[in-house]
Structure 1
Amino acid sequence: MKPALLVIDIQKAFYDIGPAAAESLADAVEYTNAAIALFREKGLPVVCIQHVEPEDNLVPGQPGFDLPDTLHILPGDVHIHKTYGNAFNRTALEDELRRQGVDTVILTGFCAEYCVLSTCRGAADRDLTPILLRGALASVEPSHIPFVERINDVISFGALKKVLG
């Protein structure tokens, strides 16, 4: 197994949707940062995926597009910009993962029931093994997260640490 960590749509604009989203994102970033540190320690790929939506001014160079200061993504990490919910749709994500020999993706990010779920399904459609990281998903409606976790494979951070050795 060679995994990559996908960090999906953790962008400043989504903190402004409302207090539930902001709190959910803050909680998810804590687990996501722990996973980022673990993947770096093991020399495994970290992929930062950002949503582009010109109609909402969610474009590179605009403040809402940026990553929050609390997220530990580095310029040297793989960066993918997407325009669809599924991060594999019309992006270089699959090619980049194949180039690095990745066969499993650990998914984190926002919004659990939309872009994360779409990307999870997209990974499975490409014969990659998608696994959600418990605690690292965020939503405008945090009550939706347990449903998304119930219908997919999920791993806790503790189990992920053991699996990655």
Structure 2
Amino acid sequence: MSKTALLVIDVQESFKHRDYWDESEFADYAERQNRLIRQARQRGWPVVFILHNEAEGVFSPMSGYVRVMNFVERAADDPVFNKHVHNALTDSSLQDWLEKQGITRLVISGIRTEQCCETTTRVASDLGYDVDFVLDATLTFPMQHPLTGEIVPTSSIRSHTALVLNGRFARIRFVEDYESAA
């Protein structure tokens, strides 16, 4: 059994019902996310889905939106874990499952580059996992800077994430890195 697992974090319908949802980068992201999932399956890595849950609103299970987005190439036996915090490891039972599977390396992908994906990466590193952060298999949205009021584009957010994670918490990777190594 492989010691690597692909985490697909928060790729859920809930996001499409937030006011910041933006389709402009979604199709490209979706295509890359599925390419990464295919590469994981070819390598025999488990593909693990994590869904964010909140008490109310569109991230509440009662909303009906806390489910994996339809575009995802998901197998019926792929594990799914639910979380209530920004990282996928500390309240979801995912860490226990990873330990039981002998997983020591995590490949991170999913929605909100700088939020749940980045936070999971930092926590995973602190817990001793070897981590790859697949930058182009994450999606985020423009954000308003709290000090300047400027709208920060997604390219700047991803650039900052790469800067602060690489060599400290993870290796920054791209989908094509896995395809060229096949």
Gaps of 5+ in 1: none
The reply to whether residue 161 of structure 1 matches residue 161 of structure 2 is no
Larger Cα Rg: Structure 1 or Structure 2?
2
Q: Secondary structure at the match of 1:64?
A: coil
CA distance, structure 1, for counterparts of residue 48 and residue 41 of structure 2: 11
- Root-mean-square deviation over aligned CA pairs: 2.0
Say which is worse superposed, 77-86 or 50-59, in terms of deviation. 50-59
CA distance, structure 2, for counterparts of residue 108 and residue 44 of structure 1: 14
Residue from 139, 145, 149 that aligns with 2:158: 145
Higher relative contact order (CA 8 A, sep 6+): 1
**1:39-54 matches, cutoff 5 A:** 39-54=40-55
**1:5-154 matches, cutoff 5 A:** 5-18=6-19, 21-60=22-61, 62-141=63-142, 142-143=154-155, 144-152=157-165, 153-154=171-172
Letter in 2 for 1:139: T
Letter in 1 for 2:161: V
Letter in 2 for 1:140: F
**Percent identity of paired positions between Structure 1 and Structure 2:** 26
Q: Could you state the TM-score of these two structures normalised by the residue count of structure 2?
A: 0.81
Letter in 2 for 1:151: V
Q: Secondary structure at the match of 1:151?
A: helix
